[in-house]
Amino acid sequence: MKTMRALLALSALLLLLGTLGCQPTQTVVPQATSPVKKTYADVIIGYAQLGAESEWRAANTTSIKETADQLGIELHFLDAQQNQDKQIEAVRKLIVQKVDLIGISPIVETGWSEVFQEAKNAGIPIILVDRRAAVQEDLYVSYLGSDFLEEGRNAARVMADLTGGKAQIVELVGTINSAPANDRYRGFREILADYPEMEIIASETGDFTRARGREVMEKFLNEHGSEITAVYAHNDDMALGAITAIEEHGLKPGVDIKIISIDAARGAFEAMIAGKLNAAIECNPLLGPQFFELALKVINGETVPKWVPSEEGIFFPFDAAEILPTRKY
Ligand code: GYE
């Protein structure tokens, strides 16, 4: 009853104030304010690159640095020189530097949980660029890069076409325990399972470098000689090293021994034009623009997909000369 009377009194008062042209003071309800969106000029991005092992990596690094420059982003770029401990240290340095976000191409898949957790505790999001890491999903916001498994499958499909489903293959594997080496290895075998006359007679790591590719191919040739009819190289650089080894052995690369590699950088196109490489499966290193776009979205609290795949094709010698001038890496 009392409340009823109080309410009536209140409405009478409000009516009176209204007629007098006064407004009662409004209660301020805290609004969910939308924070001002950051622009490229406001952010500091850290990047922990794994090294400089290949033509692919050189193009990748250039893409990251040039894009940052063009967008006016402050980029803290660290190169781990092919060493996981150094790459972990690089992430720690970037945490101390309080960057807004860290991009990293993890050299190998395992061993990242601890340092990624440290970044998370410091409130710094991580984007995996190019290579995945085997960590819990909440330790990174997104993976931007290729489908390495599909690249391996495509390499096997093309190899089957080239050899009529009959081959004695030697395989030059990428860096042991790296995501691209693991998946290119598996994807290739998945398809090979359907071809009983295609056999992998030797498989060893060439660490994604030209020098190691050449050395390992020399060893394969000394051990297996003319038994070898095909080479599957997990990247162009190792294939180019293998081409030198095959020539030194007095054989014709691309003819006596069919060769397929992954990356499709300019060196692979030149080798295809020279008739020494039979196919190149594309893996795109120009990830700079997509990376920074994704990074800014993350910093501004937008939801991003857990995997942003890059678009890729397959190239052959017949139109390599026509395509080469259009290649950006
Ligand atoms: O294929 C190889 C490089 O991680 C996709 O690393 C990358 C691979 C690329 O060394 O050339």
Q: What is the mean pLDDT of the chain?
A: 91
* Pair 244, 299 in one domain: no
The domain tally of the chain equals 2
Where residue 47 sits, what CATH number does that domain have? 3.40.50.2300
* Residue-wise pLDDT tens digits, 122-159: 999 999 999 999 999 999 999 999 999 999 999 999 99
* Pair 137, 78 in one domain: yes
CA 263, distance to chain mean position in Å, is 12
* Pair 262, 302 in one domain: no
Give the per-residue pLDDT at 15. 38
Determine which helix (DSSP H) or strand (DSSP E) holds 132, and give its type and residue range: none
* Pair 171, 142 in one domain: no
* Pair 200, 258 in one domain: yes
Would you say 216 and 180 are in contact if contact means Cβ atoms under 8 Å apart?
Answer: no
Q: Is residue 13 part of a domain?
A: no
Q: Give residue 135 CA to ligand 1 midpoint distance, Å.
A: 20
* Pair 168, 274 in one domain: yes
Q: Give residue 177 CA to ligand 1 midpoint distance, Å.
A: 13
Q: Is residue 10 part of a domain?
A: no
* Contact 55 CB / ligand 1 (< 6 Å): no
Share of the chain above pLDDT 90, in %: 86
Instruction: State which ligand 1 atom lies nearest to the alpha carbon of 179.
Output: 4
Measured by CA distance, the residue closest to atom 8 of ligand 1 is 180
* Contact 261 CB / ligand 1 (< 6 Å): no
Distance CA 207, CA 188 (A): 18
Q: What is the mean pLDDT of the segment spanning 25-50? A: 77
Domain that includes residue 93, residue range: 40-146+285-310
* Contact 180 CB / ligand 1 (< 6 Å): yes
* Pair 183, 270 in one domain: yes
Would you say 149 and 234 are in contact if contact means Cβ atoms under 8 Å apart?
Answer: no
* Pair 109, 232 in one domain: no
Q: Give residue 286 CA to ligand 1 midpoint distance, Å.
A: 12
Of the listed ranges 2-16, 45-59, 101-115, 219-233, the one predicted with least confidence: 2-16
Would you say 299 and 43 are in contact if contact means Cβ atoms under 8 Å apart?
Answer: yes
Give the per-residue pLDDT at 22. 36
* Residue-wise pLDDT tens digits, 244-267: 999 999 999 999 999 999 999 999
Give the per-residue pLDDT at 34. 62
Of the candidates 233, 99, 252, the residue with the CA atom closest to the CA atom of residue 171: 233
Residue 13 has pLDDT above 60, yes or no: no
User: Distances from the Cα of 325 to the Cαs of 31, 120, 187, 270, 283, in angstroms?
Assistant: 56, 43, 31, 11, 18
Q: Give residue 121 CA to ligand 1 midpoint distance, Å.
A: 30
DSSP 76: E
* Pair 186, 233 in one domain: yes
Query: What is the bridge-based pairing of β-strands 314-315 and 279-282?
Result: antiparallel
Distance CA 206, CA 218 (A): 11
User: Global pTM?
Assistant: 0.88
* Contact 207 CB / ligand 1 (< 6 Å): no
* Residue-wise pLDDT tens digits, 98-108: 999 999 999 99
Q: Give residue 52 CA to ligand 1 midpoint distance, Å.
A: 10
Q: Is residue 277 part of a domain?
A: yes
